[in-house]
Amino acid sequence: MLGRLAFVAGSVVAVIVATVALVGLFMLQRPGTLEGPSTSIHLETVAAVGAAIEWPRPNDPHLDWVSYLPTTILRVPANSTINVQIDQEDGATGLRNPFWGKVFGTDGGNMHVKYFDDKGNPQEGDMTSIDPTLAAHTFAVPDLGVFVPLLGISDNAPAGSANIITFSFKTKGPGVYRWQCFVPCAAGTVFGNGGPMQTLGYMAGELIVS
């Protein structure tokens, strides 16, 4: 009887320890903050953290996770125009809702894209939308009405190339605004929406407006 109670007690303790470790890893551990506040943001998206070249994170616990780099905690000034450049280096995953293939909330209602077409030829121009099946990720700040779909790299693009996406948007008053990717791009998780999709520092972040 005592042996059984000891086993149950040990199991409960093990579950508690595992739960605390999980909370510490996924909820309390925060990525670094992009220093600022700054009116310019430069990010890249990679298919796997371990493949990053510009902003490597060799000690990251999830080297196979898709991610924004160098961080998703961004500090920007209030009531300002923010200029964003995203070097998009991942292939297309596709949006489940084609409505989100449109650009919303940016200055001029568009984004400027340098990319390679399906024949591998360089192209450049302003876009107000993309084919939703060709989206790799999105940069979305729902509370600011900002939504920018990021065009996936063409299969015929030169190795190591990136689609360069630039746009601007305006901030409101001080506060913390959640931003995230809405493309279900977390391979190996339930419906592609787990893991990096819901974890700060990967495909979810905070826009700290001050």
pLDDT of residue 89: 96
Per the document, the length of the chain is 210
Domain boundaries, the chain: 1-30, 33-209
Q: Which pLDDT does position 29 carry in this prediction?
A: 52
More confidently predicted of 167 and 34: 167
In CATH, the architecture of 33-209 is Sandwich (2.60)
pTM, to two decimals: 0.83
- Please give the Cα distance from 206 to 4 (Å, whole number): 47
pLDDT in tens, 53-84: 889 999 999 999 999 999 999 999 999 999 99
- The overall average pLDDT reported for the chain is 87
Bridge partners of 114?
A: 124, 164
Residue pair 20/28 in contact (Cβ under 8 Å)? The answer is: no
Q: Is the pLDDT of residue 168 over 90?
A: yes
- Say what the pLDDT of residue 91 is: 95
Indicate the residue type of 82.
I
What are the φ/ψ torsions at residue 110 (nearest 5 degrees)? -145, 180
Who wins on pLDDT, 20 or 121?
121
C-alpha distances out from residue 42 to 2, 7, 55, 83, 184, Å? 61, 53, 11, 9, 23
